[in-house]
Chain A
Amino acid sequence: MKVLTIAGTSVRRLTRDRSNIFFVFILPMLLILILGAAFGGSSDPRVGVVSSGSGALGEDLAGRISEVEGITVSDWEDKDSLVLAVERGQLEAGVVIPEGYDDTLRNSESVTIEFVSRPDPSAEALKNTVDSAATEQGALLRAAAFTVGQGTADFSEALETAEDVAVATKGLVIEQRTVGEPFAFEQLGRFELGAYSQLLLFVFLTSMTGSAALIQSRQLGVSERMLSTPTPVRTILAGEALGRLSVAMVQGLLIIFGTALMFGVDWGDPLGATATFLVFSLGASGVGMLMGATFKNDQQAGGIGVLVGIGFGALGGCMLPLSIMKIFSPTLYNVAHITPHAWGIEAFEELILYGGTIADITLELAVLAAFAAVVFALGAWRLRAALTK
């Protein structure tokens, strides 16, 4: 019970500080929301189309564009508002089908369709998507024009025949085969990447900065006073360790359940996700305890804790996905695995991306458990020495 008393007091003291409430609980959720909104991969690009006054063929082209898979199409009244929407990021691209499009084509004259986008890398892919719809219509128009040229039908009849033939004719089919592994973030839902990377980043960061509380207890003389009570040193150590772990667990569980409920994040196999989170938290708590026992003042621990927490997070793939790191710098990718974050991220990717189970992440769990055991042992040894002099 004394262990729980010491641990509970750690959590109580953490929650007493309002700034802690923000940094430990609110900030991670905000970052997940922001990352999800900025880089989320599940929503389709939005394309606006202006087709008023373009005639039947213009409306036909607009319909063909809206049937293209992988984009979300909306109708716009005029070109100016469409361009403004693209500029402001409300649309990824816009297509302007000019007035008189139908008449011009029937007169066998050339027509220019305007494609509007921001100078993003994705613009070219979107243009190709729109091109495919225009090309499809263009093929029918050329066939109709050929028939009209033969003098066997007028344009409308010829176009109708061409459409019938197009439906009846089996065209070429391109079969897609994928090789290698996908970039992690491309396969994830809007919030998944942010959720597990921020979970690991913040749980570790909080454990680092939380080491200051352990130092404060020593500086305040409370730790020494605990020793004057009939409480064995091992109980005090266990209480302090459980306190660090409890803080990490409270924060982590809030992020996990919060993102699942608010953002629909799927954490994959519950057993695997729980095991990964638990062993990672143990390691983070162990590092926090080691720092709390080693440093002499809380400012020192707080400053270095933030540096180590963010540094390890950045190196370990919480800011730059490991799959990208692996392609652009295999050396950096290998170095990243000195951090527990890299192992934690790969475990979560296996669970979330590939539907893996706890059996598929035994290596990651073993490494994280070994890391936790080593740092916990070091932390307990240092803290015992600091307490008992």
Chain B
Amino acid sequence: MEGQGNGLVLECRGLRKAFGDLQAVDGVGFSIAEGETYGLLGPNGAGKTTSISMICGLLQRDAGDVFVDGKPLTTRSVGAKSAVGYVPQDLAIYPDLTARENLAFFGRLYGLSGNELKTRVDEVLEIIGLADRKNDKSDEFSGGMKRRLNIGIGLLHGPHLLVLDEPTVGVDPQSRNAILESVEHLSTEGMAVLYTTHYMEEAERLCDRVGIIDHGKIVAEGNRRELVELVGQRDRIRLRASGDLEGAAAAVAGLPGVLEAAAREDGLDLIVECAADTLTEILGGVTQAGATVSSVDVDEPNLEAVFLHLTGRALRD
């Protein structure tokens, strides 16, 4: 079996893995194109790490296929693994080696040597912001610095596919933001990114598409808007206003994209198809109807709500 070779960096189909009686992954399949960031979103124990382990050739799969750049990838593959940069959830670095030594060690395992290795190590040290600490042992680093080194190792060989397994777990907000910015930057440079997380806001910020995984299955897939529409969720707008509120409600109820409009004691409640598209017209309509708006709250359905709708439980359960 071969990959379709249609510009997809990663294709995986029908991945299955059981540990005894537990079916950890049950038919997972998705694809990622060049420059695309794909988020695998699910709670702990949903099967994210097991899926990633099979995709990166770390774990024997019971069934399914993985193709990277059109080449099949298994635990025994060598060529296909050259195109993958793997960043595990837990730190996988030698604490008694320096940042430079850790990078050089893995760089050699990725097949780099000589000047190319030295150049790439220096470049990655700059990318992860550890150039000035390159000769310090990694056990002297803060948690965030270790995380950045952990990510840097996955970038050494310039992979086509970067696989990040919950890279921000236990990271301080500043380092977390730096990591997210790095991922955004890599994506704009054309790298395909597979990003697992149970943080909804990270998936919404980074990912072009999201696969929601639960009990080893992908239960829904698409961009945020598609997922929201899939479960029939709508945007809510709450206006704090005074004046002729009944008249204002009647005036905006007929605007395109406004599904419901109701007056209440201190303002208006509206349900719309897309708040961003209709908010300007709504504010204009309310003002024209003789009401004065003092504040606006927009409540867009998020992936947390989608997940709750699809699985009946919250992401962090």
Contacts and interface: CB of A to CB of B under 8 A. Distances in A.
Interface of A: 1-2, 5-6, 9, 12-13, 16-17, 217, 220-222, 224-233, 388-389
A260 to B, nearest CB: 32
Contacts of B59: 389
Nearest to B108: A5
Contact of A1 (B78, B92, B108): B108
Given A1-B108, A2-B109, A388-B60, A232 B78 contact: yes
B97 A9 contact: yes
Contact of A225 (B82, B108, B113, B153): B153
Given A2-B108, A230-B111, A389-B60, A225 B88 contact: yes
B201 interface: no
Interface of B: 56-60, 75-79, 81-82, 84, 86, 88, 90-97, 101, 105-106, 108-111, 113, 153
Nearest to B163: A228
* 8 A-B pairs with the lowest CB-CB distances in the bound complex, closest first: A221-B92, A228-B86, A229-B109, A225-B92, A230-B81, A5-B108, A230-B78, A230-B82
A137 to B, nearest CB: 71
Nearest to A220: B92
A225 B106 contact: yes
A227 B110 CA distance: 11
Q: Among the interface residues B59, B60, B82, B106, which one has the most CB atoms of the partner chain A within 10 A?
A: B106
A116 to B, nearest CB: 58
A9 B113 contact: no
Q: Among the interface residues B77, B79, B82, B94, which one has the most CB atoms of the partner chain A within 10 A?
A: B94
Contacts of A226: 109
- State the majority secondary structure of interface residues on A: helix
B91 A221 contact: yes
A9 B101 CA distance: 9
A228 B58 contact: yes
Contact of A9 (B56, B84, B88, B105): B105
Contacts of A16: 96-97
A229 B156 CA distance: 11
Nearest to B59: A389
B60 A229 contact: no
Nearest to A229: B109
A246 to B, nearest CB: 15
21 contacts: A1-B113, A6-B109, A9-B94, A16-B97, A17-B96, A220-B92, A220-B93, A221-B91, A221-B92, A222-B92, A225-B106, A225-B153, A228-B81, A229-B106, A229-B109, A229-B110, A230-B77, A230-B78, A232-B76, A232-B78, A389-B59
Q: Among the interface residues B56, B77, B106, B109, which one has the most CB atoms of the partner chain A within 10 A?
A: B109
Contact of A220 (B75, B91, B101): B91
B23 to A, nearest CB: 17
B110 A220 contact: no
Contacts of A388: 60, 75
A227 B57 contact: yes
Contacts of A225: 86, 88, 92, 106, 153
Contacts of B109: 2, 5-6, 226, 229-231
A17 B94 CA distance: 13
A102 B97 CA distance: 78
Given A220-B93, A231-B109, A389-B59, 6 more contacts: A5-B108, A220-B94, A221-B92, A225-B92, A229-B109, A230-B82
Contacts of A224: 58, 88, 92
Contacts of B110: 229-230
Given A1-B108, A5-B109, A221-B88, A228 B94 contact: no
B86 A13 contact: no
